[in-house]
């Protein structure tokens, strides 16, 4: 009876962290398959296949505890990924596939923790961000990791992705803020996106916020899988280049704010002034239109210097992302 109760608790916890347990979830405890409830998923993961979980948004990551002295990943196609064991700095792995050995030098015996994140779609890069589980020593098993219950969600474009920083999502301000505050974090962002869908094909986050993946045809996201405590929106940098009018932008921002509030009724929502100062008045007006005491406009004047803190006067470099994180983290607290 106690074992059944423990398995049920593990399955419920997995759902809270973004994984809907499958019918075989309880029997998979400890084995390292994607459905193993000891594996925690942060971000939006398509769990339609029990053998391969897919994350298309930036900064999605996996956390799992394990026993034994070695751990390997099961990957499908080629992908750049980052892995950290026991809190050590993330190690990059480029264009790996199949069985990926993360411990060529065995670890000391004991219980360890693995974190894995995949390089996001950015620019011309398209990897196969498919997690197929872990392989452990004979007789070893996964263990429930210690993970935060608090989640901060970031909605944005290539700046929120971390495009052109040294490790993309891992050196972007959303990841830095989440890590500094000891919170789980998600980056619902893709390079080149707008707030408003445009006639010339700019992906509009007003609508894609509702989706599991990047394509319009992907299933709607099940927001019961986790609830964000804070949501940070940084959108508007790209809309001007797609001829989005002031009125269109403001209306779209109001729609997005309503959608975020409807899906996360208890969250604090922060609408950032874009670092290039685009649609500032319209963003403020959208926030004011909702008259919600937990939705705030955040001025960002002076946070970064385009000459020294960006790669190209648009995308922050590592130093720029660090400066943004240092300003934003205290506001979230």
More confident residue, 218 or 8: 218
Whether 13 has a pLDDT exceeding 50, the answer reads no
pLDDT, tens only, 29-76: 999 999 999 999 999 999 999 999 999 999 999 999 999 999 999 999
> What are the boundaries of each domain within the chain?
2-143, 151-332
Please give the class, per CATH, of domain 151-332.
alpha beta
| Segment of 3-7, 21-25, 233-237 carrying the highest mean pLDDT | 233-237
pLDDT, tens only, 245-269: 999 999 999 999 999 999 999 999 9
pLDDT, residue 283, reads 98
Whether 295 has a pLDDT exceeding 60, the answer reads yes
Whether 280 has a pLDDT exceeding 80, the answer reads yes
pLDDT, residue 20, reads 38
Contacts 24+ apart (CB under 8 A), 86-95: 86/112, 86/113, 87/113, 90/115, 90/117, 90/167, 90/170, 92/167, 95/127
Please give the CATH superfamily to which domain 2-143 belongs.
Galactose-binding domain-like (2.60.120.260)
The pLDDT confidence band at residue 6, using thresholds 50, 70 and 90, is very low
pLDDT, tens only, 146-162: 999 999 999 999 999 99
pTM of the model: 0.91
pLDDT, residue 126, reads 83
* pLDDT average, residue stretch 15-29: 51
* pLDDT average, residue stretch 299-313: 97
């Amino acid at each position: 009876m106690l074992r059944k109760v423990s398995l049920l608790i593990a399955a419920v916890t997995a759902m809270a962290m973004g994984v809907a347990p499958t019918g075989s979830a309880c029997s998979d405890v400890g084995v390292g398959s994607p459905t193993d409830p000891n594996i925690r998923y942060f971000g939006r993961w398509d769990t339609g296949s029990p053998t391969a979980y897919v994350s298309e948004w930036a900064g999605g990551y996996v956390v799992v505890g394990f026993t034994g002295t070695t751990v390997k990943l099961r990957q499908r196609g080629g992908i750049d990924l980052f892995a950290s064991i026991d809190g050590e700095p993330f190690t990059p792995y480029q264009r790996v596939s199949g069985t990926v050995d993360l411990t060529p030098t065995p670890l000391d015996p004991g219980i360890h923790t693995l974190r894995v994140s995949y390089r996001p779609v950015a620019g011309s890069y398209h990897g196969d961000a498919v997690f197929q589980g872990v392989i452990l020593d004979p007789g070893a098993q996964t263990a429930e990791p210690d993970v935060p219950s608090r989640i901060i969600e970031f909605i944005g474009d290539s700046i929120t992705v971390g495009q052109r920083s040294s490790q993309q999502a891992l050196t972007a301000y959303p990841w830095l803020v989440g890590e500094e505050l000891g919170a789980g974090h998600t980056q619902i962002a893709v390079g080149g996106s707008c707030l408003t869908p445009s006639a010339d094909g700019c992906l509009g986050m007003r609508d894609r916020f509702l989706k599991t993946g990047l394509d319009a045809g992907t299933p709607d996201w099940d927001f019961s899988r986790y609830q964000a405590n804070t949501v940070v929106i940084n959108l508007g940098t790209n809309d001007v280049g797609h001829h989005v009018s002031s009125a269109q932008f403001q209306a779209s921002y109001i729609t997005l704010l309503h959608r975020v509030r409807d899906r996360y009724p208890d969250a604090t929502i922060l609408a950032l002034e874009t670092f290039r100062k685009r649609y500032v008045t319209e963003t403020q007006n959208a926030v004011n239109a909702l008259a919600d005491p937990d939705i705030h406009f955040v001025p960002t004047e002076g946070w970064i210097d385009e000459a020294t803190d960006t790669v190209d006067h648009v995308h922050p470099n590592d130093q720029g992302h660090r400066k943004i994180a240092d300003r934003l983290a205290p506001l979230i607290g």
